[in-house]
Amino acid sequence: MESMRWNGDSLELLDQTKLPKALEYIHCQDYRRVGLAIKRLEVRGAPAIGAAAAYGVVLGAQEVVKDADFREKVAVIAEELRQTRPTAVNLFWAIDRMMACLDACDADMANDAVAVKLEEEAKVIEELDREVNRSMSEHGATLFTEPVSILTHCNAGALATVAYGTALGVIRQAHAEGHVVRVFADETRPLLQGARLTAWELNEDGIPVTLITDNMAGWVMKQKKVQAVIVGADRITSNGDVANKIGTYSVAVLAKEHGIPFYVAAPMSTFDWTMESGDEIPIEERDADEVKHVYGVQTAPLDIDVFNPAFDVTPHEYVAAIITEKGIIHNPNKETMARFKKEKM
Ligand code: MRU
């Protein structure tokens, strides 16, 4: 299962707003359509957004390749893509890499040669995501030495990355090793990424999955139906605080109360070493209609006030370990994070 396909002059994105009812691809012929797809969550999940934005920069470069002020125009396009969503740092990481690639091209290099370099860099970002998810999953699976049931929130699967997934990548690997009995998937209101995407993705792969509404997680834990929680992340700060889909924090608090380890699986591109703590992370607030409607059907008074943060921050005290492609950080905090950074980067 792959969330995107690059065709040389267009980007095909699996339309995640249509799943699970329809498997349709969006053909992005220009960077504006890529930006719109990110805003609309047609492509979503931190690593997938980053890779899509990288190809958005390539499409933009191809569009302005004949212009005298080519490099300035590519910078403006990159800036436009940066504005699409604020929380997942992978978006900025990928665009920064693309701009560094542009800056590394000699001043006398022809525009079309620069555009080719940018395309190569986007392909590296795409390929890197496949690789890191595989190694992260192998590290993560070592945490499970006997069969367990695992709860997850939102979708941190193949759909949220280029392929394989982060949290669901670990689950896939642990399942292949015979250590996953069942996955409990929170439906993840308001946009139902757990119900529409995680339940679908795991079902397609033949991994036993039980769908629950978000407010059932505590009771599922109380009844000892799960022995671990694994989620993905949109941004991890240098003290180990974790931003992820709204509702993650509640799951972490419940897990602590029930003595269940709460694991986060994320690539190094999700780490924001410039931020000291989760207090600094910009949290996206989305349209009130997402809360007042469920898939087009009105479920609340239209004139009611709504608060719709798309993410929350789980303080590091709740996190048993962060699983990365370079290894596992147990008990993340300022010191363990700094040690990991020094050893692995
Ligand atoms: O709003 P979304 O669907 O983009 O939010 C996605 C999440 O919060 C994921 O858990 C996170 O990006 C990790 S994906 C590997």
Binding-site residues, ligand 1, Cβ < 6 A: 41, 44-47, 88, 154, 156, 160-161, 166, 193, 232-234, 244-245, 310
How far is CA 155 from each of CA 47, 58, 130, 248, rounded to the nearest angstrom? 12, 27, 17, 11
pLDDT score of 223: 98
pLDDT score of 295: 87
Residue showing tokens 């690997």: 173
- CA of 165, closest atom in ligand 1: 15
Nearest CA residue ID for atom 15, ligand 1: 156
**Distance from C-alpha of 166 to C-alpha of 136, rounded to nearest angstrom:** 7
Instruction: Give the chain's residues under pLDDT 50.
Output: none
| Residue ranges of domains in the chain | 4-134, 137-344
pLDDT score of 345: 87
For residue 254, report the distance from its CA to the centre of ligand 1, in Å.
20
- CA of 191, closest atom in ligand 1: 3
pLDDT score of 2: 86
- CA of 193, closest atom in ligand 1: 3
Query: Which two three-digit tokens encode residue 206?
Result: 């033949």
- CA of 167, closest atom in ligand 1: 15
**295-326: per-residue pLDDT in tens?**
899 999 999 999 999 999 999 999 999 999 99
For residue 340, report the distance from its CA to the centre of ligand 1, in Å.
24
User: What would you measure as the largest C-alpha separation in the chain, in angstroms?
Assistant: 67
**Distance from C-alpha of 89 to C-alpha of 270, rounded to nearest angstrom:** 6
For residue 46, report the distance from its CA to the centre of ligand 1, in Å.
5
- CA of 244, closest atom in ligand 1: 8
**Distance from C-alpha of 310 to C-alpha of 119, rounded to nearest angstrom:** 31
pLDDT score of 105: 98
**Distance from C-alpha of 83 to C-alpha of 113, rounded to nearest angstrom:** 27
Which residues on adjacent β-strands are paired with residue 4?
A: 13
* Contact by Cβ (8 Å): 90, 36: no
CATH architecture of 4-134: Up-down Bundle (1.20)
For residue 234, report the distance from its CA to the centre of ligand 1, in Å.
6
Pairing of strands 321-324, 327-330: antiparallel
For residue 112, report the distance from its CA to the centre of ligand 1, in Å.
34
Pocket probe for ligand 1: among 15, 154, 192, the residue whose CB has the most ligand atoms within 8 Å is: 154
**170-201: per-residue pLDDT in tens?**
999 999 999 999 999 999 999 999 999 999 99
Pocket probe for ligand 1: among 130, 155, 270, the residue whose CB has the most ligand atoms within 8 Å is: 155
Kindly name the residue from 186, 214, 234, 312 that is annotated as catalytic.
Answer: 234
pLDDT score of 308: 98
State the first-to-last Cα distance of the chain, in angstroms, to the nearest integer: 30
* Contact by Cβ (8 Å): 182, 221: no
pLDDT score of 315: 99
Nearest CA residue ID for atom 6, ligand 1: 45
For residue 343, report the distance from its CA to the centre of ligand 1, in Å.
28
Fold of 137-344: Rossmann fold (3.40.50)
What is the full DSSP assignment across 72-118? HHHHHHHHHHHTS-SS-HHHHHHHHHHHHHHHHS-TTS-HHHHHHHH
Pocket probe for ligand 1: among 14, 44, 87, 271, the residue whose CB has the most ligand atoms within 8 Å is: 44
Burial 309-330 (b: 16+ CB within 10 A, else e): ebbbbbbbebbbbbbbbbebbe
Q: Is 234 known to be catalytic?
A: yes
Query: Which two three-digit tokens encode residue 182?
Result: 């069942």
